[in-house]
Amino acid sequence: MLNFKIAIVGAGPAGYFTAQAFQKAQSDELSFSIDMIERLPTPWGLVRSGVAPDHQKIKTVSKVFEKIAKEPNFRLFANVELGKHIYLKDLRDQYDAVVLATGASKGRKLGIPGEDLTNSLSAADFVPWYNSHPDYVQTQVDLSCDTAIVIGAGNVAMDVARILAIDPSELDPTDVAEHALIKLKQSNIRTVIICGRRGPEHAAFTAPELRDLPKLENTDVFIDPKQIEEAIKHIEEMEEVEKDLKNNIEAMKTIAEHEKKGVPRKLEIKFLSTPLEIKGNGKVEEIIFQKNKVENGKVITTSETFSVKTGLVITAIGYNSIEYPGISIENGRITNIAGHVEHNVYAVGWAKRGPTGVIGTNKSDSNDVVDLIIENLKEPKASEGITGLLKSGHEVIDQIAWEKINASEVISGEIAGKPRVKEVDWRQLISLGRS
Ligand code: NAP
């Protein structure tokens, strides 16, 4: 029986699905000892700090993660940071394979004047703020204006816009951060405009998320029917139309045409608008857009511009992976070929392919990389694994400690009528794990 030691860095969906793929690949001849290393004192990655609080159902995938974690060949080492408490070089030496499932957490920038004004934020700061990420509790968000602009036509832009546009009481029965809920309840924002630079036919939204919008109880959602009519014309000119695109346009047409409730809270999706400049005296006051049009299937700019008075701009235009010593980044992701980085180092998830796909996409992606790793494995190393790599006294959150944190949050949630109340303080999380 050959037993290989595997280190997975990053306890998000891609990390867990990688562990699961190794577990499923075990046989009478082959076994794996899996150590999952995570910077935060809590696992689950974007399922904890990314998925919108009004989408609780998506978070039930954490049950799958806990099942994976219960397997005897799995150990969790949370509160351990790559490049600070443990080094890639050492992991490479001690493990038969190292899998980087470190995601992409740096928000991409627009690169336009005024982007650094106060209250111009990246979704990479705003989303973890409302999701209780301990590093983002201090994110400064001013919700005193009446109109907010969200840049980008993807699902993150839609999450951000929804959280700003719905009645905050709808978040009462969720695990939204308490500090965010207080601010959202005091918010003056009544109009949220999502701005996409291309047409409806190019939007990165997905149909299930679009279909949920007309169901919002306290918010009217608008799309200019003319923009949808134009998009339908363009689609009719295409030789082949993908099913996802048809579903998206159908869902957007429903939004454009459905009867409005006449409520004060409004969410608008505006297409063919490229942000040119954010203006303001120290703080966001206005945003200037260039109008675009679609000609022969291509998006081209026009000389027309328009401006919107706003006090808050949130940019949701994708993410880049962060750098680690010894790892190069290309186009925002870890340089890799089909998941192979170098020697016995691999990448999965957003770190491998960039910030695309839903949680489930990581399953097939991780399966493919694990197949490749197994193909490349030869003789197991005679090494100690993680033993000796961490400084003595370094406080690791292992699976048992995490289960204590988890139980404490769920119990607090039961009392408050929520799925959980997330602890936001790093030290407090560690002490919960110790209790
Ligand atoms: P995304 O789906 O790639 O969307 C990014 C958007 O930003 C696109 O509309 C893109 O427009 C736009 N953009 C990029 N650069 C821009 C620029 N310089 N100026 C203006 N607009 C720009 O990324 P995401 O929304 O961050 O989502 C990441 C992944 O997570 C996606 O696969 C998404 O489906 C997934 N996700 C899923 C859910 C869910 O299932 N509920 C929730 C959140 C996220 P162009 O197309 O013109 O480049």
10 lines ligand 1 (CB under 6 A): no
CA of 153 to the centre of ligand 1 (A): 6
Q: How far is the CA of 200 from the centre of ligand 1 (A)?
A: 13
Question: Can you give the pLDDT at residue 324?
Answer: 86
For residue 112, how far is its CA from the centre of ligand 1 (angstroms)? Answer: 18
**Six-digit token pair at 423?**
């602890």
Q: Which amino acids are annotated as binding site for FAD, given as ranges?
A: 14, 38, 46, 82, 350, 357-359
Residue 296 is predicted with a pLDDT of 86
Query: What is the CA(343)–ligand 1 centre distance, in A?
Result: 32
* Tens digits of residue pLDDT in 23-57: 999 999 999 999 999 999 999 999 999 999 999 99
Tell me which of 252, 317, 358, 362 to substitute to probe ligand 1's pocket, judged by most ligand atoms within 8 Å of the beta carbon.
317
- Looking at domain 2-105+320-397, its CATH architecture is 3-Layer(aba) Sandwich (3.40)
Annotated binding site for NADP(+): 197-198, 209, 357
Q: What is the pLDDT of residue 326?
A: 85
Closest ligand 1 atom to 206 CA: 34
Bridge partners, residue 308, by sequence: 287
pLDDT grade, residue 239 (50/70/90)? confident
- What three-state secondary structure class fits 208? helix
> Are 75 and 35 within 8 A, CB to CB?
yes
Angstrom distance (rounded) from CA 374 to CA 281: 57
| Residue 8: strand pairing partners | 36, 99
Q: What is the pLDDT of residue 139?
A: 97
Q: What is the CATH number of domain 109-317?
A: 3.50.50.60
Q: Which residue has the least CA distance to atom 15 on ligand 1?
A: 317
Q: How far is the CA of 390 from the centre of ligand 1 (A)?
A: 38
CA–CA dist 38, 81 (Å, integer): 6
For residue 180, pLDDT beyond 90: yes
H or E stretch covering 287:
strand 286-295
Residue 407: C-alpha distances to residues 65, 66, 138, 435 (Å): 15, 13, 26, 11
Which range has highest mean pLDDT (151-155, 294-298, 356-360)? 151-155
Assign 21 a pLDDT band (cuts: 50, 70, 90): very high
Give the pLDDT of residue 368: 98
Above pLDDT 70, what percent of the chain? Answer: 100
Annotated binding site: 14, 38, 46, 82, 197-198, 209, 350, 357-359
What is the spatial distance between Cα 164 and Cα 279, in angstroms, rounded to a whole number? Answer: 21
Every domain of the chain with CATH number 3.50.50.60 lies at 109-317
The predicted-structure confidence for 118-170, as pLDDT tens digits, reads as follows 999 999 999 999 999 999 999 999 999 999 999 999 999 999 999 999 999 99
Give the ligand 1 atom nearest the CA of 110: 18
Ligand 1 center–CA 54 separation, angstroms: 19
Could you tell me the pTM of the whole model?
Answer: 0.97
CA 112 to chain centre: 24
- 340-342 vs 345-347, strand pairing mode: antiparallel
Residue range(s) in the chain whose domain bears CATH number 3.40.50.720: 2-105+320-397
Query: Mean pLDDT for the chain?
Result: 97
